[in-house]
Every structure is written in C-alpha cells, then in structure tokens.
Amino acid sequence: MRTLYALAICVALFAPAALAQENYSEGPVWHVSLIRVKPAYVDTYLASLRKNSKPIYDEEKNQGLILDYKIFLKETKHDPQDWDVCIAVEYKNHAALDGLDAKGEAIENKLLGGEPQAQALGITRQEYREVISEESLQEITLK
C-alpha cells in the first residue's frame, strides 16, 4: 500500500512537467537586461557598448561561451520609468552558465586592461544608466 501511495505522489508531482514537455521542446537560455538611460545619454551609452561591451561579447562568442547577443532599442515608451535599451545574451543551455562568471571576468580584464578599468567603466555607466531588470528566459519551441 505504501508503494502505491509513493507512486501516486510521484505521478502527481511529475505529471505536469511531463505533460508540459509534450507541448514544447527546450531551446537556448537568454539572459536579458533592461536598462533605462538618461535622455541625453543614449548615444553615449551606445558608444560605450560598442567600444567596451561588443568586443567582450564577440570574444565570448568566439570562445563558445555564448551563442549570440542582441541589443534592442525600445521605440515606444509610455512611461518615463520604462526601459530604453535591452541587452539579450544567448547561451546554449543552463549548463553553459556554470563557471561563466570567472571566464567572463578574465575576458573583461584582458580586453579592458584589468579589473580597475572594468570597475571604473561600471561606475561611469552608473552616471547615465540604470539596470531596471535582469531576467533569465528559457526559449521553447512549440511542437
């Protein structure tokens, strides 16, 4: 009887996940940052991304740490507290995030000239932008 009870609990716990997998397949994982930029600084921020962040993302892509990255500008803004720039970085799966911080930091230090320069860049960016939200999203494909 206990075995049947344990089996019923397992079915109840795992059945929803199994049924959900029936409807979709898992794809890559995206890390998305939504950023609000002070109005007069959008070009300054984009220039900083081009000069400092793009080479880092390109190197991470060359090393196979990320699959891709995209930068989006929001065209419609209904609220002044809304975001302006979205940075989306694509990873193969959740396992690709294991140990990523140390590898990414090594690339940043190499390309930016060291940890003090990377920290100075972060401090400078705080003057004209604010990270509103950071999310991890699982891409799925409906079957």
- Summarised one tens digit per residue, pLDDT across range 24-47 is 999 999 999 999 999 899 999 999
Q: Is the pTM of this model over 0.85?
A: no
Cβ atoms 35, 53 nearer than 8 A: no
Kindly report, residue by residue over 60-115, the tens digit of the pLDDT.
Answer: 999 999 999 999 999 998 888 899 999 999 999 999 999 999 999 999 999 988 88
Q: What are phi and psi of 33, to 5 degrees?
A: -115, 125
Q: Indicate if the pLDDT at residue 12 is higher than 90.
A: no
What residue segments make up the domains of the chain, in order of their start?
25-142
> What's the mean per-residue pLDDT of the chain?
88
Phi-psi domain of 74 (left: phi exceeds 0; alpha: psi -120 through 50; beta: other): beta
| CA gap 27, 94 in Å, rounded | 10
Q: How confident is the model at residue 136 (pLDDT cuts 50, 70, 90)?
A: very high
Strands of the sheet containing 85-91, edge to edge, are: 68-73, 85-91, 24-37, 129-142
Q: Which fold has domain 25-142?
A: Alpha-Beta Plaits (3.30.70)
